[in-house]
Amino acid sequence: MSARGIRHEAFFATLGKTPEESELWAPFLAALVTLRLIDEWLTARHVPVEMLAAVHTTLDTVAAHDPSRHLVADLLVPITRRDPPDFRSVAKPLFAYARWLHKNSHWALADDVYTTVWHGLIDHPPASKSDIDLASKAALFAGACRRGIGDAAAADEAYAEAHTLAMQLNNEVRARKAELGRAKVVRQRGNLPAAEAALRELIAQTTHPSLADVRAEAFHELGVTLFWRDEHDAAIEAYHEAWISTIDPEERLRVVVDIAGVLGELEYVEQARTANLLVRERSTDVTLQGIAGVNLIELARQDRDEAEFARYRELVAQDLERLPTKIQVDYHYCVGLGYETFGDSERALERYDLAIEIAESHGLGQELYRIDCARDAIVDGLSNVTPPLAPTPLPSVVRVGRALADARVAAH
């Protein structure tokens, strides 16, 4: 996280552990020198021509097809035009670049840029209503990124600031989303009873139709929290409530894919497969399709169906480069576990190594730990494969399973 958004330590740290031959090196270096140029432009009120030329030269090393090249180039427009130094002229392009980093799971870097936007707009008053609006969005998303990298205290700080700014705007939806973020932080810290209480309170306070999306998301997070508390039946009921309460069709499928993941973990293979197929068939979002595809790979492994495992492995591989980094890591891990299940430990190790490499380069600590453990088990002559278990009967699964099957039939 940057100190007041002007130092960009996260970019230095990322470049420090990224090989120069990596495809990420040039884009991140170009972003860093551009951000430092903006710092110089704003503090010195002037940028030497040779410094601007050097930054353009660095940007030219980024592949033309890389989306970040165009986003970073947009940051240079006001400087190239010799506009008077004004943070507001780069705030929206910075936010757009942060969103790209966020969506591609570069959480520490996204946090750095979101924080730059947030503090850049608020720390130098007077801030207009539109400035506060963008700053509150940036603080809200910064909170999510900080949760992603495991910094609960910093995440809570960002959510608290997002809430304060939203209240200044009388934007209750955003204020409630900030409260939802703080409840997630409580859960991340391990206080599951307090997280559950906060989420139930939020659900009770969001009955107005204008808050329907927040209420649905709160049910979704309640499902996650209850699942972590091993209250599986109640968790699935909460997930189901989130599904039927969500208005946007694509967001509804996002809930369905999470329901599918939970059902799969509980060994309800057929119901999980129905949910994942519904997402694969109905979603236009490549990310949701990818998550469902990875789930289907794992379900085929659980079923010990090597042909289906190979089929979905190849289907997901076709879109792999378009998927967020975390899903790529999950894919290689699931494929590795599949190879291990079907008796090919050598190929399993290759996949685990690839997943570890990607997780390390993107700072995905939780995923890295899980895959390191899986790899160590094979090296030590142990196995990560457990025998299939009969699922515990849960009344909620009957209702949700029937609803998923009906939804899939209705979709055809």
Q: Residue 376 and residue 393: Cα distance in Å, rounded?
A: 34
Is 15 in the same domain as 106? yes
Q: Residue 26 and residue 65: Cα distance in Å, rounded?
A: 13
The label of the residue with tokens 């090919």 reads: 344
**For residue 411, pLDDT beyond 80:** no
Q: What is the pLDDT of residue 115?
A: 96
What integer is the mean pLDDT of 117-121? 96
**For residue 295, pLDDT beyond 60:** yes
CATH number of domain containing 353: 1.25.40
What integer is the mean pLDDT of 148-177? 96
Q: Residue 130 and residue 121: Cα distance in Å, rounded?
A: 10
Is 245 in the same domain as 324? no
Is 18 in the same domain as 102? yes
Domain extent, residue 74, equals 1-186
pLDDT digits (tens, 9 = 90+) for 82-105: 999 999 999 999 999 999 999 888
The label of the residue with tokens 């850049």 reads: 120
Q: Binning pLDDT at 50, 70 and 90, where does residue 388 land?
A: confident
Q: Binning pLDDT at 50, 70 and 90, where does residue 284 land?
A: very high
Q: Residue 187 and residue 183: Cα distance in Å, rounded?
A: 6
Is 238 in the same domain as 128? no
Number of domains in the chain: 3
Looking at 168, 186, 204, the residue that finishes a domain is: 186
Is 42 in the same domain as 166? yes
Gyration radius of the chain's alpha carbons: 23
The label of the residue with tokens 């140029």 reads: 37
Q: Binning pLDDT at 50, 70 and 90, where does residue 6 land?
A: very low
Is 113 in the same domain as 167? yes
**For residue 4, pLDDT beyond 70:** no
Looking at 154, 186, 218, the residue that finishes a domain is: 186
pLDDT digits (tens, 9 = 90+) for 228-273: 999 999 999 999 999 999 999 999 999 999 999 999 999 999 999 9
**34 and 72 Cβ atoms separated by less than 8 Å:** yes
